[in-house]
Amino acid sequence: MFQLGAVRAPAKLTTKLGWFRAPAQPGSVSTPVKRLVSLDVLRGITIAFMIMVNNPGGPGAWTQMRHAAWNGLTATDLVFPTFLFVVGASIVFSTQARLQRGDSRAKLAWHTIRRAVILFLLGIVVNGFPAFELNHLRFYGVLQRIAICYLVVSLLYLWDRRVWTKVALLVVVLAGYWVLVRYVPVPGAGTPVRDIPLLDKDQNIVAWLDRQLMPGHLYEEFDTHNTRDPEGLLSDIPAVGTTLLGLLAGLWLRTWLPLKVKATGLAAGAAACLASGYLWAHWFPLNKKMWTSSYVLAAAGWSLLLFAVLFWVLEHHGWGQKAQKSGITWPFLVFGSNAIVAYMISELLGSAVDLIRFTAGGRKVSPIPYVYHHVFMHIGDSGWRALAYSAAYAAVCFIPVWILYNRKIFIKV
């Protein structure tokens, strides 16, 4: 199961590490306990919202249901980094669980590589389906970025599980990306701030490199000199930083501190990330498409804040077991149980249904536009209409995942 979230208890034997007690090294004895329901729910919320914002129901969708045009931040811009944050946190628990079961680090490394390759290939399938036109097939993508971040951070954690090295790498990643975007000249355009605007849509080092590597294969293509991709190569660097922040949160939650202290720590981390992210944005604007360093911190702050609330309610107050059977969190547990499957269904369903054609009103139509016109167009307000469509699409995608959940089938890769 490409779940990245088999959340189990920490080992009973721990070693002192920095300012809190870290997970034990391989070979220590552990007593597995319940999953962190709050992390499962956060994963499910993220996938559900991802499906909705990827299927917004037309240009009339509310601002928060659409990505910022360039600089700035909306709720939609928080979805992808939250999933990477969850991936990072889950790496800690899933890795420790397998080490405690006796798996070697070498075996886990090969397992990690295999998972990342499969996930990357699934991303190619999503981009190419159904035509697979190789001349313009997009090789970057959401699943591809998840694969890269998962691979890098998982192998790093297998190699070295000290906290300070992750913090140091996070600083290097965020500061290094800022230096790269701010000070490295863009060939043919000049140096940002001095010759061209900082974070110019097309004349930036990130877009320039993607045009050199993947001409004709980028997400946003307007002409041969005006292309870019929101999941480009260089912006994978700060995306690794997002995953590292999730990893640090996972390490914090594996300490033997009281649940109340852990929840408070998550909230404090949220405040620190939000403050530093929005402050840095004065010099390095929030930008999801370039995944700026300020965006990494601000987005992680919102992820931590939501996680802190869920952790407080579901873990500290003990409502997690109830959430597994009923309540408003149950649909998100279902979505989170097969998160990658849910995403794949949502991405492939529209393209598959669009292949169906039937005659209505004397012309050929496909089911989704037909239903939209005859059902959702009766909703007068464009914002509510778009939201109703998005929610309905997510509900349709929920059905197969719910069937798998009821049958206790969790797809592995």
Name which of 278, 286, 297, 77 is nearest 199 in CA terms: 286
Strands 363-365 and 358-360: antiparallel
Which parts of the chain sit beneath pLDDT 70? Answer: 1-34, 221-226, 318-326
DSSP secondary structure code for residue 376 in this structure: G
d(CA 324, CA 336): 12
In contact, 339 and 43? CB cutoff 8 Å: yes
Token couple for 19: 């300012």
d(CA 114, CA 185): 37
Judge residue 75's burial from the number of C-beta atoms within 10 Å of its C-beta, 0-12 exposed, 13-18 middle, 19 or more buried.
middle
For residue 319, what pLDDT is reported? 65
d(CA 401, CA 225): 42
Distance of CA 8 to the CA centre of its chain: 21
For residue 2, what pLDDT is reported? 44
Whether omega before 130 lies within 30 degrees of 0, making that bond cis, reads yes
d(CA 192, CA 252): 38
Name which of 102, 100, 98, 121 is nearest 111 in CA terms: 98
- SS3 state of residue 186: strand
Q: How many CB atoms lie within 10 A of CB 104?
A: 12
For residue 41, what pLDDT is reported? 94
In contact, 158 and 42? CB cutoff 8 Å: no
State which H helix or E strand residue 358 sits in.
strand 358-360
For residue 380, what pLDDT is reported? 87
d(CA 335, CA 42): 10
d(CA 22, CA 164): 11
User: Amino acid letter at 292?
Assistant: T
Torsion of CA 191, 197, 200, 203, to 10 degrees: -30
Token couple for 142: 């959401």
Q: How distant, in Å, are the alpha carbons of 11, 15, 94, 96, 277 from that of 100? A: 8, 15, 10, 6, 37
For residue 222, what pLDDT is reported? 46
State which H helix or E strand residue 220 sits in.
strand 220-223
d(CA 132, CA 183): 38
Quick one: angle between helices 339-354 and 37-54, nearest 10?
20
Question: Which sequence spans correspond to the domains of the chain?
Answer: 15-406
Cβ contacts of 98 within 8 Å, gap of 6 or more:
108
**Concatenated DSSP letters of 151-171:** HHHHHHHHH---HHHHHHHHH
